[in-house]
């Protein structure tokens, strides 16, 4: 953790750089600090996945409105400040990225942060050791 999943309507694929957005949001996640100034998210756990929908419907179907939904899942039990800073940091980066597009088309943008409530959790890859070498 954390991970960020982006669901979006596919017509924006050619209107903005979604690969760049992923990188920018991963960087925003890595920069999040808690109230003590400590980094909230371990680098090895950060991943952003973006998925254009194959089919979609937005609002009442009038216009060619686009939508991008961001869901950030973070481990439960973080401080209120950490949760807020995580949401605010990713939102700020997404807002900046989409400013040019917002100026010229209908575009819904919603970001939600969920605390994981998992009843089982396993990490069995090899990234954490790579980034904990210091």
* Binder among 26, 32, 40, 93 for a copy of itself (CB under 8 A): 26
Using the rule CB under 8 A, is 100 a contact of a copy of itself? Answer: no
In the shown chain, the binding pattern of residues 72 to 91 toward a copy of itself, with x for contact by CB under 8 A and - for none, equals: x----------xx-xxx--x
By the rule CB under 8 A, 115 interacts with a copy of itself: yes
Round to whole Å and give the CA distance between 41 and 78. 10
Question: Which tokens hold the place of 65?
Answer: 């409105």
Site for a copy of itself in 28-57 (CB under 8 A): 30, 43-57
Q: What's the rounded Cα separation, in Å, for the pair 114 and 104?
A: 31
Is 81:33 a contact under the CB 8 Å cutoff? Answer: no
């Amino acid at each position: 953790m954390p991970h960020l999943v982006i669901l979006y309507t596919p017509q924006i694929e050619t209107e903005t750089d979604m690969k760049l957005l992923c990188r920018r949001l991963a960087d925003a996640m890595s920069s999040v600090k808690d109230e003590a100034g400590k980094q909230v998210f371990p680098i090895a756990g950060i991943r952003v996945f973006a998925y254009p929908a194959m089919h979609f419907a937005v609002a009442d179907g009038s216009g060619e409105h686009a939508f991008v939904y961001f869901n950030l899942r973070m481990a439960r039990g973080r401080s209120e400040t950490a949760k807020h800073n995580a949401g605010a940091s990713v939102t700020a980066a997404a807002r900046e990225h989409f400013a040019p597009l917002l100026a010229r088309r209908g575009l819904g943008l919603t970001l939600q942060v969920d605390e994981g409530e998992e009843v089982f959790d396993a990490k069995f890859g090899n990234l954490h050791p790579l980034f904990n070498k210091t």
